[in-house]
Amino acid sequence: MELSRRTVMAGAAAASVAAATTTGGAAHAAGGRGKPVRTLFGRLADGTKVHSWSLENGGTRMRVLSYGGIVQSLEVPDRRGRYANVSLGFDTLEDYVASSPYFGALIGRYGNRIGKGRFTLDGTAYQLSVNDGDNSLHGGARGFDKRVWDVEPFAAGSDVGLRLHHTSADGEMGYPGTLRTTVTYTLTRKGDWRIDYEATTDRATVVNLTHHVYWNLAGESSGTVLDHELSIAASHYTPVDSGLIPTGDLAKVAGTPFDFRRAKPVGRDIRTAHQQMLYGKGFDHNWVLDKGATGRPEHAAMLRDPASGRTLRIATNEPGLQFYSGNFLDGSLVGTGGRVYRQGDALCLETQHFPDSPNQPAFPSTVLRPGETYRTTTVHSFGV
Ligand code: GLA
């Protein structure tokens, strides 16, 4: 049935996606776990090939593009074993290139915003690419979400996965230092999706890598996530100004719409006339995880769709989590399922250091120096 839904698409891109589905299907038929399977997904305007990789393990299936490290689809079963793609995306490379609000993408060099795209490090002032009003968002105009990554598949022990490599040149998007980045996507035997980020630099720089899957545990194109229940293990968040740049305060969530310490429906307080909600057009804030930065990934958040029973738990060693309730989805994009995406049709849970940290000395540091290795891990565990 998965095949028939995808093969109705028109054109060459559809053919390549259909081919990917067939190959992926063969891998699934062979028992699920096996080396990831590669197919051609499309070509960029300059002729560069973009591949799609299908992988499956422990009941989780995903398709990843070499363009932006994009998770094009992620399928998990509901309580009755029925699969759905729980991640928003597009069918064609053209759609991703034309205009994507970071659907499923790897984000770098700096996830979230840097005020005015400016910061000073060791006495030198840097001006970054500004692409969100006055600010720099998600690495600037051409961030890691728009780069073609070198992809190396692996099957090791009970894991399968992909290692994605990108070297970002000194000065790219205004950032100092040649940044050598490896991001590893692992599907474990239990069906967890684990992301390990690693980077080194040859000059002092700032780094904050994250991921931008838009989750809808009822399945993409099924409607809003307002009835999903969310909990976030955080007593504080970082309030923002009208440009969504943190004021520097750590505010208590108690007594505000931002209190997700106990699970509550995403939509319960989303229309509260709180100044922060007006700035964000909903939730678009960084939660300060109570556990802080940790050596190993620890519990950060849990999402549950009562209708399908699907659950997602997120563990990370990062100190922050951006919860974005899909506020800017405005009905202008048609997704994988052939339906229009509207406000609140998905939400993002982006594990990270806090926004604008390079300009906030009191926030945990995002500075990386030569000789050091940046290492963070986020684990997504699916269940019912
Ligand atoms: C992040 C930001 C949001 C928005 C989305 C992409 O989550 O915090 O404000 O820019 O990316 O649309």
The tens digit of pLDDT for each residue in 365-382 reads: 999 999 999 999 999 999
Question: Which atom of ligand 1 is nearest to 102's Cα?
Answer: 6
Question: Which atom of ligand 1 is nearest to 284's Cα?
Answer: 8
Question: Which atom of ligand 1 is nearest to 280's Cα?
Answer: 9
Is the CB of 324 within 6 Å of ligand 1? yes
Cβ atoms of residues 320 and 186 within 8 Å = no
CA–CA gap between residue 67 and residue 52 (Å, rounded): 9
Strand partners, 107: 210
pLDDT of residue 29: 35
What phi and psi values does residue 275 have, to the nearest 5 degrees? -50, -40
Is the CB of 319 within 6 Å of ligand 1? no
Q: Does position 35 have pLDDT exceeding 90, yes or no? A: no
Q: How many CB atoms lie within 10 A of CB 248?
A: 14
Which range of residues forms the domain containing residue 189? 3-383
Residue closest via CA to ligand 1's atom 9 equals 284
Q: Does position 47 have pLDDT exceeding 80, yes or no? A: yes
Is the CB of 284 within 6 Å of ligand 1? yes
Q: Kindly report, residue by residue over 86-137, the tens digit of the pLDDT.
A: 999 999 999 999 999 999 999 999 999 999 999 999 999 999 999 999 999 9
350 is catalytic: yes
Tally of domains within the chain: 1
| pTM of the shown model | 0.92
**344 CA distance to ligand 1 centroid (A)?**
13
Instruction: Indicate which residue of 212, 285, 353, 380 is catalytic.
Output: 212
Q: Kindly report, residue by residue over 86-95, the tens digit of the pLDDT.
A: 999 999 999 9
pLDDT of residue 1: 26
Q: Does position 17 have pLDDT exceeding 60, yes or no? A: no
Is the CB of 356 within 6 Å of ligand 1? no
Question: Which atom of ligand 1 is nearest to 244's Cα?
Answer: 9
Longest dimension (CA), the chain: 59
Is the CB of 101 within 6 Å of ligand 1? yes
Is the CB of 102 within 6 Å of ligand 1? yes
Average pLDDT for 272-278: 98
Average pLDDT for 254-270: 98
Instruction: Check which CATH number belongs to the domain holding 11 and give it.
Output: 2.70.98.10
198 is catalytic: no
